[in-house]
């Protein structure tokens, strides 16, 4: 393919060098003449392993050249990759000025050519930026509507500086967000020979994934650091701890616990987090990440409470009050905390949970629920249908299998608030459905 790469910085240079190596004809574009001159002399404008050799070879073979002239680069190519910087502004917001400028330049150049052009954003941009800024800038400057001669895609970049060429060749995944499958396939075709999952998705998901990735990486680093800080203070080697931690690929290094949803609870997580952060205070350690977890969990309960009260429906059927399905342990269940909050505000609740039968609850579990909701015996029923019939609003608290059929059982006047993401419920109920964070 003939590809123009806008921005001869870390991402642009590595992409341009690797695409040229893989047989594409590449024009690198940058307003900084010194970078243009370096590339045209077969030299790299950035310090990065293997890039110098790749550029030298690509320029020698006539597969790569650089220019400061956006219009000529667009005219010679049928796809543009935008790799310009998106730095932080002083207030932390994302500076998208360079992306907007480059889209205006590319759009103006597309206007003067009579052939389709595909513009692929590789710069990291927040969800909604394609729709609010990239597409309008391209459309205004080109005079074309997106989806005609002008196509757009988002293709986030996952390389790390210092191992960038290796990462380009071994990506953790390749993600392309596009408005139609043909455009997604054209961009994915650039990476045909690369390993790893290839994922076509919506433009907005593609925009957001990079932020989820980087936030996660920052959480991992800080988590390891805070565990290490505690470990050192109590005379334990944190590397020994985290070596073992990382060998657990079921619960620790795995997709488990990572789907958006409701708060955590149960008899262990809250108790153990409190003990650990209390120990940190005793040791005079600042542990901002670990200390933020209980408050963040409380916010998730408040979020559900506010969404429920916003519906203005006082009669509520609450299905599933244990913190996960398949247990009758109610201790520190966030569903119970939510029920307690609703009862406190005078909501008329009926509760169903297949696993929770008051007569069978014993010990600290029974004491807990009877203390938190003293008249639980009046509102906890064994009859799912009767509980369902009571609610103008139905809340599903956990993903017990018997709740899967609930959406089809609802009356036309009932709404569903879902903390468990019941499959197909959103599609079945449309406007009558709301989920905690989907």
- Does 72 sit near ligand NAD (CB under 6 A)? no
**Contact pick of 83, 135, 188, 209 for ligand NAD (by CB under 6 A):** 83
Nearest distance from C-beta of residue 93 to ligand NAD, angstroms: 14
Q: Cα separation of 380 and 330, whole Å?
A: 13
Which span sits near ligand NAD by CB under 6 A: 99-107, 180-188, 258-266, 326-334? 99-107
Query: Rounded to an integer, what distance in angstroms lies between the CA atom of residue 154 and that of residue 103?
Result: 13
Contacts of residue 2, defined as CB under 8 A and 6 or more positions apart, other chains included, come to 24, 25, 27, 76, 77, 78, 79
Q: Which is nearer to ligand NAD, 31 or 266 (CB)?
A: 31
Read off the tokens for 216: 């996660």
Name the active-site residue from 18, 83, 103, 268: 268
- 4 contacts ligand NAD (rule: CB under 6 A): no
Among the residue ranges 5-13, 196-204, 236-244, 416-424, the one whose residues contact ligand NAD (CB under 6 A) = 5-13
11 binds ligand NAD (CB under 6 A): yes
**CB nearer to ligand NAD: pick between 111 and 404:** 111
Q: Which residue lies nearer to ligand NAD by CB, 97 or 340?
A: 97
Smallest gap from Cβ 63 to ligand NAD, in A, equals 20
Instruction: Tell the smallest beta-carbon distance from residue 74 to ligand NAD (Å).
Output: 11
Residue 90 to residue 132: CA distance in whole angstroms: 22
Residue nearest to ligand NAD (CB): 9
Q: Of 8-16, 241-249, 361-369, 392-400, which part binds ligand NAD (CB under 6 A)?
A: 8-16
Locus of tokens 């710069």:
123
Q: Are 38 and 186 in contact (CB under 8 A)?
A: no
Please state the closest distance from residue 97 (CB atom) to ligand NAD, in A. Answer: 9
Which residue stretch of 2-10, 16-24, 352-360, 428-436 sits at the interface with ligand NAD (rule: CB under 6 A)?
2-10
Q: Tell me the number of residues near ligand NAD by CB under 6 A.
A: 26
65 binds ligand NAD (CB under 6 A): no
Q: Is 32 in the site for ligand NAD (CB under 6 A)?
A: yes
Residue 339 sits in the site that holds ligand NAD (CB under 6 A): no
- CA 137 distance to own-chain centroid: 26
Sequence-ordered strand ranges (E) for 136-264? 150-154, 174-178, 198-201
- Contacts from 163-166 at CB under 8 Å and sequence distance 24+? 163/49, 164/10, 164/14, 164/48, 164/49, 164/51, 165/14, 165/17, 165/18, 165/48, 165/49, 165/50, 165/51, 165/54, 166/49, 166/50
123 near ligand NAD (CB under 6 A): yes
Least Cβ distance, residue 45 to ligand NAD (angstroms): 7
Distance CA 69, CA 72 (A): 6
Pick from 16, 64, 102, 361 the residue near ligand NAD by CB under 6 A.
Answer: 102
Q: 80 forms bridges with which residues in the sheet?
A: 4, 119
Task: Find the length of the chain.
Answer: 438
Is-catalytic flag, 103? no
Residue 77 contacts ligand NAD per CB under 6 A: no
Q: Report which of 343, 260, 270, 334 is spatially closest to residue 301, judged by C-alpha positions.
A: 334
Structure tokens at 433: 């459905």
**C-beta of 188: minimal distance to ligand NAD in Å?**
18
Cβ distance 138 to 118 under 8 Å? no
Could you list the residues that contact ligand NAD (CB under 6 A)? 6-12, 29-32, 35, 83-86, 98, 101-102, 105, 123-124, 157, 159-161
The residues annotated with a catalytic role in the active site are: 268
């Amino acid at each position: 393919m003939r590809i123009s790469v806008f921005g001869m910085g870390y991402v642009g240079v590595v992409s341009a060098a690797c695409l040229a190596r893989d047989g594409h004809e590449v024009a690198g574009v940058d307003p900084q003449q010194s970078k243009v001159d370096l590339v045209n002399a077969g030299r790299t404008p950035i310090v990065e392993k293997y890039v110098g050799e790749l550029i030298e070879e690509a320029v020698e073979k006539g597969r790569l050249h650089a220019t400061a002239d956006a219009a000529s680069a667009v005219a010679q190519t049928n796809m543009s990759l935008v790799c310009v910087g998106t730095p932080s502004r002083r207030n932390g917001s994302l500076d998208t000025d360079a992306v907007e400028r480059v889209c205006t330049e590319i759009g103006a150049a597309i206007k003067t050519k009579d052939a389709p052009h595909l513009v692929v954003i590789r710069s990291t941009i927040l969800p909604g930026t394609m729709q609010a800024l990239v597409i309008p800038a391209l459309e205004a400057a080109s005079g074309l509507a997106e989806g005609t001669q002008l196509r757009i895609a988002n293709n986030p970049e996952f390389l790390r500086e210092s191992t960038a060429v290796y990462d380009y060749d071994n990506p953790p995944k390749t993600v392309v967000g596009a408005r139609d499958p043909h455009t997604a396939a054209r961009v994915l075709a650039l990476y045909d020979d690369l390993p790893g999952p290839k994922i076509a998705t919506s433009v907005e998901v593609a925009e957001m994934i990079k932020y989820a990735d980087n936030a996660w990486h920052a959480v991992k680093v800080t988590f390891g650091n805070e565990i290490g800080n505690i470990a050192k203070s109590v005379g334990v080697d944190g590397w020994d701890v985290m070596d073992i931690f990382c060998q657990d690929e079921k619960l620790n290094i795995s997709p488990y616990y990572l789907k958006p949803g409701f708060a955590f609870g149960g008899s262990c997580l809250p108790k153990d987090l409190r003990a650990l952060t209390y120990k940190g205070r005793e040791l005079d350690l600042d542990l901002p990440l670990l200390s933020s977890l209980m408050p963040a969990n409380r916010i998730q309960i408040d979020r559900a409470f506010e969404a429920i009260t916003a519906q203005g429906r006082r009669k509520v059927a609450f299905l599933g009050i244990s913190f996960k399905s398949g247990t009758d342990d109610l201790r520190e269940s966030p569903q119970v905390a939510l029920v307690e909050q609703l009862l406190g505000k005078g909501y008329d609740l009926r509760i169903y949970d297949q696993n929770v039968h008051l007569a069978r609850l014993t010990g600290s579990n029974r004491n807990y629920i009877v203390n938190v909701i003293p008249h639980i015996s009046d509102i906890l029923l064994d009859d799912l249908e009767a509980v369902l019939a009571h609610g103008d609003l139905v809340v599903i608290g956990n993903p017990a299998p018997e709740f899967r059929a609930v959406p089809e059982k609802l009356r036309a006047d009932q709404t569903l608030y879902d903390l468990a993401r019941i499959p197909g419920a959103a599609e079945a109920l449309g406007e009558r459905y709301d989920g905690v964070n989907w």
